[in-house]
């Protein structure tokens, strides 16, 4: 039996409007919590100088590009990116789709992204955060190259330059805390 609306109200409350005592089967309990009325926040005081909006429509203008940004298309990056996205459309061809391929896609994204980019390019080559045998370093570089995120030297140079600028701005050490 499903009670809705008025029937539910009559079931829960007696004629005086008080909550009726509900006794289900033995060893069962039913608890009803009534929430307090919502608290209405007070109205804020009016501002001394209200902001006036312009009567004419605001015309949005595009911000200029920074000096470092070139508007040229870098074809050595654009062509592989375009080919990869066109090749990804083959997933919609029914006889080329498989669930094992979908699972391998997710495993590959994790493997190549975490081992190739995070571990190799970033931690190993950019920051030299750990040491490993030369054959393992070359294997990591090979995995990273499969991500098509540029050559190791280019990636390391750009990332190191950005990190040094960030370090200079954000992590400048006060002279009192500098190492001797």
Q: Which residues lie closer than 8 Å to 146 by C-beta, 6 or more apart?
A: 112, 116
Judge whether 48 and 54 are in contact, CB under 8 Å.
no
Q: Residue 102 pLDDT more than 80?
A: yes
What's the mean pLDDT in 105-111? Answer: 91
Q: What is the pLDDT of residue 138?
A: 94
Judge whether 20 and 13 are in contact, CB under 8 Å.
yes
Q: What is the pLDDT of residue 24?
A: 47
If you count DSSP H runs as helices and E runs as strands, how many of each does the chain have, helices first?
Answer: 5, 0
Q: Which residues lie closer than 8 Å to 127 by C-beta, 6 or more apart?
A: 163
Q: Residue 134 pLDDT more than 90?
A: yes
Q: Which two tokens stand for residue 118?
A: 């995070």
Query: What pTM did the predictor assign?
Result: 0.50
What are the distances in angstroms from CA 4 to CA 7, 95, 127? 6, 51, 65
Q: Which of 125, 128, 129, 149 is nearest to 138 (CA)?
A: 125
Q: pLDDT digits over 29-50, tens only?
A: 555 566 677 777 777 776 666 6
What does the domain layout of the chain look like in residue ranges?
A: 98-172
Q: Residue 171 pLDDT more than 60?
A: no
What's the mean pLDDT in 71-86? Answer: 88
Q: Residue 68 pLDDT more than 80?
A: no
């Amino acid at each position: 039996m499903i009670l809705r609306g008025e029937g539910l109200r009559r079931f829960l409350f007696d004629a005086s409007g008080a909550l009726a005592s509900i006794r289900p089967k033995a060893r069962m309990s039913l608890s009803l919590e009534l929430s307090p009325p919502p608290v209405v926040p007070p109205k804020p005081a009016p501002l001394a100088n209200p902001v006036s909006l312009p009567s004419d429509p605001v015309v949005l203008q595009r911000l200029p590009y920074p000096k470092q940004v070139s508007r040229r298309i870098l074809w050595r990056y654009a062509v592989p990116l375009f080919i990869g996205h066109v090749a990804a459309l083959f997933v919609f061809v029914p006889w080329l789709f498989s669930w094992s391929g979908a699972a391998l896609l997710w495993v590959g994204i994790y493997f190549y992204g975490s081992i190739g980019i995070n571990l190799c390019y970033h931690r190993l080559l950019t920051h030299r955060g750990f040491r490993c045998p030369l054959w393992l370093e070359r294997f990591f570089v090979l995995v990273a190259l499969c991500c098509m995120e540029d050559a190791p030297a280019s990636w390391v140079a750009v990332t190191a330059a950005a990190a040094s600028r960030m370090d200079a701005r954000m992590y400048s050490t006060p002279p009192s805390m500098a190492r001797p």
